[in-house]
């Protein structure tokens, strides 16, 4: 399997060989920042088209077809339209908080994206407590949503922000418990070590019943955490117009729109990392020929493919199940999902202690 670390090390040696270390580090940081932003933009545009086409497929329609071949340029037309829209200043708003809220949401999303290992040797941020860092950064996004809803001085946005805060804070518990279940099994919070631990089998297969249960809990909680249907109560169009970002226009609205789709990829990427091996190919112990063939597939293809598959499942939820009420949503978390996730975490601890796993 190709190691992308060869390219990054070559680039680092090239810079340090012809300039001072501080300048080389500065150039590397700029290049990485540009690559992150480009990746962020391209992924967001792809996911917008991806969901539109999947939605059309589920509903037996064609979806966007007019701009470009098969409608693939429609998202670029929409992006250009958002960029040229006027940023409207509203009376009665807290102008500073109103303007900074979308940047908080987008910053949280970008930092989480930088933590994901895209391939062998292709990771920007790697801490020993990487999983804990991702969970901490992900909790910042809800602050931007709460600020957006409150500072807009609008009843619709305030109700949407309150719903979003209650929903995201509640489902973060089940999401975290599902992740901790796998951390207990792996014995590490380092993202790279989590991937390497799955070289002889993905955790969803080796972790026995608790890993499968944790995967199901994670997908449900991640769907609610990203405000995706059927848990999209903060943006309930028939009740709240557009929810917490009703009063936003132009690029500020675009930030919320992009962050929503990128968060879908991020939670899918974390699921692939924790349960499906991340960029690690599918290996079966004893099947040396099969494993060698799997190693020919680039690691970045494995990671992106798994993330797209989990995103497909989450989008499938949205266009299959009806929207639930906010009381049903919170009751499901506190009465059923969270206790079940906690019991499953304890069950995994028992399995690990007694060695009842593959």
pLDDT tens, position by position, 190-230: 888 898 888 888 899 888 889 999 999 999 999 988 888 78
* Cα–Cα distances in angstroms (integers) from residue 346 to residues 67, 159, 209, 304, 351, in the given order: 53, 36, 12, 31, 9
Query: Buried b / exposed e across 284-306, counting CB within 10 Å, b at 16+?
Result: eeeeeeebeebeeebbbebbbeb
| Radius of gyration, CA atoms only, the chain | 21
Residue 304's pLDDT is: 92
pLDDT at 92 over 80: no
**How many C-beta atoms surround the C-beta of residue 205 within 10 A?**
16
What is the per-residue pLDDT for 240? 62
Residue-wise pLDDT for 23-55, tens only, equals 888 898 898 888 888 888 888 888 888 888 988
Provide the percentage of residues in the chain whose pLDDT is more than 70: 97
- pLDDT at residue number 239: 62
pLDDT at 252: 84
pLDDT tens per residue, range 298-324: 889 999 999 999 999 998 888 888 888
Whole-number pLDDT of residue 337: 92
Mean pLDDT calculated for residue range 132-158: 86
pLDDT value of residue 58? 87
Domain-wise residue ranges, the chain: 85-354
Report residue 357's pLDDT band, with 50, 70 and 90 as the boundaries: low
Burial of 322 (0-12, 13-18, 19+ CB in 10 A): exposed
Over residues 97-110, mean pLDDT: 88
Tokens of 148: 């957006």
Asked if pLDDT for residue 122 goes beyond 70, the answer is: yes
Contact 228, 318 (CB under 8 A): yes
Q: What is the pLDDT of residues 229-280, one digit of tens each?
A: 788 776 666 666 767 778 888 888 888 888 888 889 999 999 999 999 888 8
Q: What share of the chain has pLDDT > 90, as a percent?
A: 20
First and final CA of the chain: distance in angstroms? 25
- Judged by average pLDDT, the poorest of 31-40, 102-111, 159-168 is 159-168
């Amino acid at each position: 399997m190709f190691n992308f670390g060869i390219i990054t090390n070559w680039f680092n040696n090239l810079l340090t060989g012809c300039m001072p270390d501080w300048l080389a580090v500065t150039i590397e940081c700029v290049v990485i920042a540009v690559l992150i932003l480009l990746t962020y933009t391209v992924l967001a545009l792809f996911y917008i088209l991806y969901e539109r086409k999947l939605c059309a497929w589920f509903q037996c329609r064609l979806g966007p077809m007019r701009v470009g071949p098969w409608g693939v340029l429609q998202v670029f037309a929409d992006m250009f339209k958002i960029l040229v829209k006027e940023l409207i200043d509203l009376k009665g708003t807290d102008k500073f908080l109103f303007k900074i809220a979308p940047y908080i949401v987008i910053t949280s999303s970008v930092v989480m994206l930088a933590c994901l290992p895209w391939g062998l040797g292709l990771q920007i941020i790697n801490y020993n407590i990487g999983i804990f860092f991702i969970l901490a950064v992900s909790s910042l996004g809800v602050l931007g949503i709460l600020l957006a809803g409150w500072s807009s001085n609008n009843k619709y946005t305030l109700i949407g922000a309150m719903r979003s805060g209650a929903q995201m804070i509640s489902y973060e518990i089940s999401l975290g418990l599902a992740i901790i279940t796998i951390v207990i099994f792996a014995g590490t919070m380092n993202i790279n070590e989590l991937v390497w631990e799955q070289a002889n089998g993905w955790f969803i297969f080796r972790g026995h019943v608790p890993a499968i249960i944790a995967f199901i809990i994670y997908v449900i909680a991640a769907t609610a955490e990203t405000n995706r249907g059927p848990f999209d109560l903060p943006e309930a169009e028939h009740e709240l117009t557009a929810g917490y970002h009703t009063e936003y226009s132009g690029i500020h609205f675009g930030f919320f729109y992009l962050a929503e789709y990128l968060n879908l990829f991020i939670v899918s990427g974390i699921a692939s990392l924790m349960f499906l091996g991340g960029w690690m190919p599918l290996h079966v112990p004893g099947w040396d020929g099969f494993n060698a063939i799997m190693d020919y597939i680039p690691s970045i293809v494995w990671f992106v493919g798994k993330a797209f598959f989990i995103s497909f499942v989450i989008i499938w939820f949205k266009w299959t199940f009806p929207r639930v009420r906010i009381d049903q949503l919170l009751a499901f978390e506190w009465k059923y999902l969270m206790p079940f996730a906690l019991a499953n975490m304890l069950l995994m601890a028992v399995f690990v202690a007694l060695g009842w796993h593959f």
